[in-house]
A and B are shown apart, each in its own frame.
Chain A
Amino acid sequence: MLERRLASVFRALSGDPGVDLWAHRPIDSRGTLPMNAPHLYPNPRTSGLGSLRGATDAMAMRRKFSDLEVHRVMLPEAREERLLVEILEQCRCESLAPHAGVRANLSLRHADWRSEYLRSRLHETHLGMLLFTVILVTRAALTREPITPAESDLIEEARFEISADLGPFLPFLKAARHDQHAFAEVARDLARTIAGRITALEDRESTRTGARQRRATASLPLVFDVSEDLFAPVSDSMGGRLHLAQGYRIWDTSFDRTSHITDLVRADSLSSGRRTIAEETARLAVPLAPVVTRLHSVIDDDTDVHEAVDADEGILDSSRLTRLLTSPGDPRVFRGRSQRAQTDCAVTFLLDLSGSMKPYASRLGALLDVIVTALDRLDVSTEILGFTTNAWNGGRLRQNWKKAGSPAGPGRLNEVHHIVLKAAHSSWRRSRTHLGGILKTSLFREGIDAEGLRWAVDRLRSQQAAKSAVVVISDGLPADSATGEANDEHFLARDLQATVASLRRAGDIGVIGIGVDTDPSLIYPVGVEVAPEDVGDAASVRALVDALRRVLGR
């Protein structure tokens, strides 16, 4: 929940509705944003709220005040220089923070980071101390926050040592705060000067031996271990891991298929499955009436779209006045509006049919049984869809990819299988039996959530209902072994995040995530976590109904 809240603040402060946080990293629809200043990533388990807020606010300021392209063009090639320019740019953006509360959070986060740095004893190497001093002095110059007396004592020697190098740059850095390009010019010169010193120091330190040097190299990652995906200098080839910043890719779609459950499961199996679900529903005994009542208020919509002519009540129809004279006994001289409660609402349930969902199949059936029956009574159009794959471990796609010499970053690498259990146009009375197909767990393989979601949303949009919602029921992040191995482990998760973010921006469809034994609010704007043993019981139905009320009641 906290991360969702911080992500919302990230959007509001940066003024960019397209950004989000993913495992405490800043992302947008292209992937992880390259923000590599070391103080932006506090440990979420051990850091206080203030530090987490400060890190988010720092990312927001960076997004707001720094143009990525300008920054990338201005980045030097040498690693140490790049890091320094990166830190200085972050510092510049933070110095422009307009809000008092944000400034306090930024200051708190940076103080925490300095404590972490000192606790890790990085400053005990000459190099570590030099970096620490440069960061402190430049930050103080830009933000006008004084260095604490204790820190001042600590860096006194190093400060004296580099004051001749650093001093001339400070006034120029301050003067160029509001101009990213001019600032980067100064920052590059400063970084080059300091990097010269760092190289000299590294040469000197590498000739030493013993624990000290080992510690220095072992813990330097605290400074340097940040993703550098987008930070290849512009002159570099666009190979390697740079593709992460581009969109979603699919190796081959020719083996994908969409089937109806009746093509996959024999009629007698469907019936016996349906009986099992009915028994489960009866055992859980969730009363239906309150569900219908609670949904009724947000779904019912008095629309009266058609005019009734030749009515026997309503407003007098001037074109029928002759009838009064020709047949005085005929009362049909009025026009009226046909007032009937019309529901213009559609809800799609999208089921994750990956292997790990097998244990919940019958309880999931019971949950859908109750909620779809209630929606059906309210004349809401419903669909029940599922996503899985045709094969384990990538199937034919992975074989073909191997034959092609396993090129890097192939994208999605398995055969997608989408299944329709109930389509919008088929009545619940008729398709109730098909829900039994959910028990054929041999169909459950791997899960490529975002493509399933996009497919479900396309179908939902084609219904053109005034209110629409999609409910995704899943037990975790997307998982496909072959895709994960050939790309990176977050490839599918990022795509899901981006898909949900774009749906939220479009705003025409409410998106709800039901997480079985997992917290879906990490991804979905409205998320409900349900324990495995509670799926289908009264509490889980109520939680789902409340979520539907939230998104449909807007």
Chain B
Amino acid sequence: MADDTTIRDMFGIDADMPVPVLDDDSDLIPTIDENYRFDPQVTRAVLAGFAHGSRVLVQGLHGTGKSTHIEQIAARLNWPVMRVNLDGQISRADLVGKDQVVIEDGQPRTAFEEGVIPYALSRPMALVFDEYDAGRPEVMFIIQRLLERDGHFTLTEQNRVIRPHPNFRLFATANTVGLGNINGLYHGVNRLNQAQLDRWNIIASLDYLDPEEEFLVVTGQVPEAADTVGTDGVRTMIEVAALTRSGFAAGDVSALMSPRTVISWAQNSVIFGDVELAFRFSFLNRCDPSEHPLVAEYYQRCFGDELSVSEIVKAS
């Protein structure tokens, strides 16, 4: 591990924290996105995780780019990353592993096929649990064991203990509900969720990019947009996105525009040469029809133009 670069050299953040860079060429190292904008606070938190093995939980609203942030830091540190989404579908067997019947020398026998955790734990790898607050209780109990101080993981299925690789790192991302408080961690197990949160050494908060930063991201990704739509046009698109985010935070709309959505909107505007049509394709058609009139209000506030919405929907 090389430790001679600092956070200032690599991320332009005003601090002297050394940055650990791995000498690795795994396929699991993410690709660098040159246009990615780093949030100074979150970057420092995540780098502390990489440098000192702290467990870092990044919380932020849907679409703020939490996982991408961790990935993009890992990409620059040459660190392999494995992302696991803890939504309702993942099971204990996926995480820990299961016995499978294999044919060896013509004879059937059972062999244990390890799951994500034993695999990642024994390698130099950053394991990221996405949607941490959506994990089901039985899954959370397993992660709880990972979060113990020494991080040893007992595979009861095989009666063995896995010691984590020195360069194994653990991260998680979670949505926040309301004003920055994590809540809704698997309903009704509040005590456990407090115990869980206590085991994360660093909890960082990622908010949406500020409009000017977002403008640089969008024009960096879609340089043609500045010609087709104009720089003011791109800024106005970002204003619409900001209103959908406020609306989402207030519970008025059930979908919001992430920076990724704005980039799609800019790309589609270039393709179709029509901002309004591109808006329909990129965002409006994803919203519940009952929310179209409100989204049209947001659009009117920013562009000053009416977005035509079905009269039937408007009257309902």
Instruction: Write the residues of chain A forming the contact surface with B, with a CB cutoff of 8 angstroms.
Output: 1, 5-6, 8-9, 11-13, 15, 17, 53, 57, 98-105, 302-305, 307, 315-316, 318-319, 337, 344, 464-466, 504-508, 525, 550, 554
Set A5, A102, A465, A508: member contacting B293, Cβ < 8 A: A5
Inter-subunit contact B301/A105 (CB<8 Å): yes
Inter-subunit contact B91/A99 (CB<8 Å): no
Inter-subunit contact B303/A100 (CB<8 Å): yes
Known: A1-B316, A17-B250, A507-B251. A9 touches B99 (CB 8 A): no
Inter-subunit contact A316/B156 (CB<8 Å): no
Give the one of A12, A315, A506 with max B CB within 10 A.
Answer: A12
Residue B302 CB within 8 A of the other chain? yes
Set B99, B252, B301: member contacting A315, Cβ < 8 A: B99
What CA separation (Å) do A56 and B253 show in the bound complex?
18
Inter-subunit contact A11/B303 (CB<8 Å): no
B residues 239-256 in Cβ contact with A at 8 Å:
239, 243-244, 246-247, 249-254
Minimum Cβ distance to chain A for residue B239 (Å):
6
B residues 115-172 in Cβ contact with A at 8 Å:
136-138, 156-159
What CA separation (Å) do A12 and B290 show in the bound complex?
17
Inter-subunit contact B239/A11 (CB<8 Å): no
Minimum Cβ distance to chain B for residue A40 (Å):
17
Minimum Cβ distance to chain B for residue A257 (Å):
30
Inter-subunit contact B110/A101 (CB<8 Å): no
Q: Chain B residues with Cβ under 8 A from A11's Cβ?
A: 246-247, 250, 252
Known: A315-B99, A466-B187, A504-B251. A100 touches B236 (CB 8 A): yes
Q: How many A-B residue pairs have CB under 8 A?
A: 103
Set B91, B98, B243, B304: member contacting A12, Cβ < 8 A: B243
Residue B178 CB within 8 A of the other chain? yes
Known: A12-B246, A98-B239. A318 touches B251 (CB 8 A): no
Which residue of the partner chain B has the closest CB to A335?
B157
Set A53, A316, A337, A508: member contacting B184, Cβ < 8 A: A508
Inter-subunit contact A507/B301 (CB<8 Å): no
Q: Chain A residues with Cβ under 8 A from B99's Cβ?
A: 315-316, 318
What CA separation (Å) do A305 and B99 show in the bound complex?
20
What CA separation (Å) do A1 and B315 show in the bound complex?
8
Inter-subunit contact B298/A12 (CB<8 Å): yes
Inter-subunit contact B91/A337 (CB<8 Å): yes
Set B138, B249, B294, B302: member contacting A101, Cβ < 8 A: B302
Inter-subunit contact A99/B302 (CB<8 Å): yes
Q: Chain A residues with Cβ under 8 A from B188's Cβ?
A: 464, 466
What CA separation (Å) do A340 and B246 show in the bound complex?
39
Inter-subunit contact B91/A8 (CB<8 Å): no
- Encoded as 1 (CB less than 8 Å from any A CB) or 0, chain B from 221 to 259 comes to 000000000000000100100011011011111100000
Q: Chain A residues with Cβ under 8 A from B92's Cβ?
A: 307, 337
Inter-subunit contact A318/B177 (CB<8 Å): no
Q: Chain B residues with Cβ under 8 A from A302's Cβ?
A: 88
Inter-subunit contact A525/B298 (CB<8 Å): no
Set B98, B253, B302, B314: member contacting A100, Cβ < 8 A: B302
- Encoded as 1 (CB less than 8 Å from any A CB) or 0, chain B from 92 to 105 comes to 11000011000000
What CA separation (Å) do A20 and B302 show in the bound complex?
21
Inter-subunit contact A315/B236 (CB<8 Å): no
Inter-subunit contact A315/B93 (CB<8 Å): yes
Inter-subunit contact A505/B156 (CB<8 Å): no
What CA separation (Å) do A302 and B91 show in the bound complex?
12
What CA separation (Å) do A504 and B304 show in the bound complex?
29
Set A5, A105, A505: member contacting B294, Cβ < 8 A: A5
Inter-subunit contact A506/B178 (CB<8 Å): yes
A-B pairs, top 6 by smallest CB distance, nearest first, are: A17-B250, A464-B188, A8-B252, A101-B304, A316-B99, A12-B246
What CA separation (Å) do A100 and B188 show in the bound complex?
46
What CA separation (Å) do A554 and B290 show in the bound complex?
14
Minimum Cβ distance to chain B for residue A317 (Å):
8
What CA separation (Å) do A316 and B294 show in the bound complex?
54
What CA separation (Å) do A191 and B315 show in the bound complex?
45
- Encoded as 1 (CB less than 8 Å from any A CB) or 0, chain B from 77 to 92 comes to 0000000000010011
Inter-subunit contact A318/B136 (CB<8 Å): no
14 examples of A-B residue contacts, CB within 8 angstroms: A1-B293, A5-B293, A12-B247, A12-B250, A12-B252, A17-B249, A17-B251, A101-B303, A302-B88, A318-B158, A505-B178, A505-B251, A508-B184, A554-B254
Minimum Cβ distance to chain A for residue B131 (Å):
15
